[in-house]
Amino acid sequence: MSVLPVPAADSRAFHRAIRSFAALSRRVILRRRVRGFRKRLKPDGSYVTDADLEAERVLRAAIAKRFPDHGILGEELPPRNPDAEFQWILDPIDGTLSFTHGIPFYGTIIGLRRRGRPVAGLIDHPGLGLCYSAAVGQGAYRNERRLRIRDLASPADLEREVIAVGDRSRFVICGAQRPFDALMRRYPVVRGYADCLGHTLAAEGSVAAMVDYGIKLWDIAATQVLCEEAGGAFRVAYKQSRKDGPTHYGIVCGKPRAVAALSRLFSR
């Protein structure tokens, strides 16, 4: 990201805007948690709730009002202005299963890209009261605190760090079960952090890295800019288009030396 995709003043403005949008979706989600919601299974076997749909509609309305020429790609509703130069990418509730069970690890993901390049990103955890946001050239933040990842002193230190992973079943879908199992054998502290929680733990340096496979574009809409603006690294280790749906990704993000070592493991 050595060349800014937008002027610095615009980047600051987008950062303010993305935080204001997240405040709107957070109110919707917390209200639904208290008052109740209905859920149903989608064709892919995942859940969608009234809260997902209402939060995405609120986000779309706010974005369209403020940036009428921008496009919007969301998980739950059809694309808007798909050929626009700027695209907002939305996952109103990443981790709907956790949300339906009262587990607070779910989050709202909002990303902004210009011609495919990250401009700003945010992951909001309403149930935890934590909002992670970043914009290119502006730094990354947990609420109001600036995030600065401290890298490993050497690759050998990775054996004493926590490595976060998504569900093994998603690695299997992508044909990456062998490197996943090798990871489990090689490193003593590998823990599963499903949903976007693992991504924010990586962005703040609480874990050495997050390795996540079988995810969609809206699942990683904010991760790259959050990690890189915090001083970390982000790599796409797997990308596969699907005839039956959106492209699947596999990513590694977190402390630079950890990301380099784990990317080698998953590229074999």
Mean pLDDT of 225-242: 96
The structural domains of the chain, ordered by start, are 8-146 (3.30.540.10), 155-266 (3.40.190.80)
- Position 3 scores a pLDDT of 57
Task: Name residue 248's beta-bridge partners.
Answer: 240
* Whether residue 262 has pLDDT greater than 80: yes
Contacts of 81 (CB under 8 A, 6+ apart): 69, 70, 71, 72
Average pLDDT over residues 103-127: 97
User: Which pTM value belongs to this model?
Assistant: 0.95
For the chain, percent of residues with pLDDT exceeding 90: 92
Which pLDDT band holds residue 1 (cuts at 50, 70, 90)? very low
Q: Going by DSSP bridges, is the β-strand pair 233-242/245-254 parallel, antiparallel, or unpaired?
A: antiparallel
pLDDT tens string 103-112: 999 999 999 9
Per-residue b or e along 187-214, where b marks 16 or more CB atoms closer than 10 Å to that residue's CB? beebeebbbbbbbbbbbbbebbbbbbbb
Q: How does residue 42 score in pLDDT terms, banded at 50, 70 and 90? A: confident
pLDDT at 268 over 80: no
- The band of 242, judged by pLDDT with boundaries at 50, 70 and 90, is confident
Instruction: Calculate mean pLDDT across residues 85-91.
Output: 98
Q: What is the DSSP string of the chain?
A: --S-SS-HHHHHHHHHHHHHHHHHHHHHHHHHHHH---EEE-TTS-EEEHHHHHHHHHHHHHHHHH-TTSEEEESSS--BSTT-SEEEEEEEEETHHHHHTT-TT-EEEEEEEETTEEEEEEEEETTTTEEEEEETTTEEEETTEEP-PPPPSSGGGGGGS-EEE--HHHHHHTT-HHHHHHHHHH-S-EEE-TTTHHHHHHHTTSSSEEEEEEE-GGGSTTHHHHHHHTT-EEEEEEEEEETTEEEEEEEEEESHHHHHHHHHHHT-
- Kindly tell me if the per-residue pLDDT of 118 is higher than 90: yes
**What pLDDT was estimated at residue 243?**
79
Kindly tell me if the per-residue pLDDT of 212 is higher than 50: yes
pLDDT tens per residue, range 137-178: 999 999 999 999 999 999 999 999 999 999 999 999 999 999
pLDDT in the model for residue 2: 46
pLDDT at 19 over 90: yes
Tens of pLDDT, residues 178-197:
999 999 999 999 999 988 99
- Residue 31's contacts (CB-CB under 8 Å, 6 or more residues apart) are none
Residue 220 to residues 30, 31, 58, 121, Cα–Cα distance (Å): 23, 26, 21, 9
Q: What average pLDDT does the segment 37-65 reach?
A: 93
> Is the separation of the CB atoms in 237 and 263 below 8 Å?
yes
